[in-house]
Chains A and B, each alone.
Chain A
Amino acid sequence: MNIPEDCRYSSDHEWIRSDGDGRFRIGITDYAQDALGDVVFVELPEIGLKAKANESICEVESTKSVSDIYAPMSGTVVEVNSDLADAPDRLNSDPYGEGWICMIEADSASDVDSLLDAAAYQELTEG
């Protein structure tokens, strides 16, 4: 299972990568995409959405089921990966790259420090 060192992780199986200036790119982990199976639809959040930590901001649907994506930190959605509208399978093929979901400008950039690091997330997935 691929767990890049340069990301932080939520216990809901999302990755969070700093883009600088208090902005964080968000997606689902390799573990999550494998468990979901083929992703067939991504409902992207609206740009400008005020997200609260641990609240649902959008949905990802696989052939099997619908899953909520939770904001890993409070902030504002400033960018979304609109390519996913026509190519939701990018969540499976490149979850940490082309399969990114949205960018959040954190209310407090230091919130990211409370998220799991790669080692702790690996432990979670193996638990």
Chain B
Amino acid sequence: MNDETDLQKTALHRLHDELGGRLVPFAGWELPIQYEGVVAEHRWCRSSASLFDVSHMATFDIVDNEANVAAIEGLTPTNLATLKPGRSRYGLFTTFDGGILDDFIVTRLDSKLRIVSNAARRSTVTRILSAALPHDQLQEVSDVALLALQGPAAASVIAQLNPAATRMNFMGSMETELADVPVTVSRSGYTGEDGFELSVPNTYAETLARRLLDFDTVQPAGLGARDSLRLEAGLCLYGNDLDESTTPIEADLGWTIGKARRKRADFPGAKIIIDQIENGPQRIRVGVLAQGRRPIRDNTKLTDLEGNVVGTVSSGGYGPTLDAPVAMAYVNRPASEIHTKLNAHVRDNIVSCVVAELPFSPTNYFKG
């Protein structure tokens, strides 16, 4: 981890300053936690469109050939062979113990595979990809910015710059131009809303961001709103909800494992993961709603009504769309049924909770 003194700056650093962004250190980068305020930015994203700078994410390009696909499939249970050109897929790198090394989005572009993973896991992902792939087949992309335009108004904004990009469905991807700037556009995001992620060369990033912010429907949003939006959408945050001691099945992410991959059982941790698919995991990720307004945050202990510890909160906070506290937690399987009553122990207080369906806020992905 870098010291605060040598934090990396994204291509939009000057713009964040100008817009009044409150810059904080995050995974070695200096990024805005908020501009106007977390709650206002969250609500703007749910009702209009918000622009996020997510340039801290790690981007890797890999030459698309059979050998490289096989090599990457040796690191993940995600099926890459069946991924169609112009499509993206969510996946997980696993450990030999069945834990999660990182989560990522992989996209099949023209003659290359692009993997976007977490900034805080950059060195780990670099290490496993470098070990699996020939040196000249893997490139860490460091000269691009990644912007996310998210919210119900995002599509009409993108349509005015390039109508073709809005004909893609959720998890579609294309290399094109927006406002005369070369951009890889993906219809994806981390908010639960319809939206686009825009990978753009650093030199054009500020021009594109300003062009997007010129729309009345678009406001900038920071990492604070990004976190509350993804929490309401039931999306995992690596380091909170996912880590090396948590399996994809415990994380309720079994859907990321292709059928053919299950059959072949040829990914790290396959034995443990397939056993959990067949017999169920000991603990599982669930949604938790609390009574009242007191937020229940990560690491809060959960007990059943008899006082037995049954789980721990992995992510929690205030959900502006619900105007209520929301959380995700890992609980023992008997306590994981929807509507199970639990108690959260927040400092000296006991907060009544109930296991709830995820997502908390309905997702609005564009499926055509």
Query: What residues of chain A have their CB less than 8 Å away from a CB belonging to chain B?
Result: 37-38, 40-41, 43, 61, 63-64, 85-86, 88-89, 92
Q: Which of B33-41, B58-66, B115-123, B194-202 contacts A (4 or more CB under 8 A)?
A: B33-41
Main secondary structure of the interface of B (DSSP, over half): mixed
Q: Are B37 and A37 in contact (CB under 8 A)?
A: yes
* Any A CB within 8 A of the CB of B228: yes
B-chain residues with CB within 8 Å of residue A40 when the two chains form the complex: 39, 293, 295, 317-318
CA distance A92 to B318 in the complex (A): 16
| Residue from the list A38, A43, A88 in contact with B38, Cβ < 8 A | A38
Q: Are B224 and A61 in contact (CB under 8 A)?
A: no
**A37-B37, A38-B37 known; A63 vs B293 contact (CB < 8 Å):** no
Q: Are B293 and A88 in contact (CB under 8 A)?
A: yes
Q: Which residue of chain A is the closest to B37 with respect to CB atoms? A: A38
Q: Which residue of chain A is the closest to B319 with respect to CB atoms? A: A40
Q: Which residue of chain A is the closest to B346 with respect to CB atoms? A: A66
A-chain residues with CB within 8 Å of residue B228 when the two chains form the complex: 63
B-chain residues with CB within 8 Å of residue A37 when the two chains form the complex: 34, 37-38, 224
Q: Are A89 and B318 in contact (CB under 8 A)?
A: no
Q: Which residue of chain A is the closest to B349 with respect to CB atoms? A: A43
CA distance A86 to B323 in the complex (A): 10
Q: Are A61 and B37 in contact (CB under 8 A)?
A: no
CA distance A64 to B225 in the complex (A): 11
* Any A CB within 8 A of the CB of B339: no
Return the CB mask of B303-323 against A: 1 if under 8 Å, else 0. Answer: 000000000000001100000
CA distance A43 to B295 in the complex (A): 11
For the complex with contacts A40-B39, A88-B293, 6 further pairs of A-B residues with Cβ separation under 8 Å are A37-B34, A37-B38, A38-B39, A38-B318, A43-B349, A61-B295
Please give the distance in Å from A89's CB to the nearest CB on chain B: 7
Q: Are A41 and B34 in contact (CB under 8 A)?
A: no
**A37-B38, A40-B318, A89-B39 known; A64 vs B224 contact (CB < 8 Å):** yes
Q: Which residue of chain B is the closest to A61 with respect to CB atoms? A: B295
- Can you list the 4 inter-chain pairs with the closest CB atoms, starting with the nearest? A40-B318, A38-B39, A63-B38, A41-B293
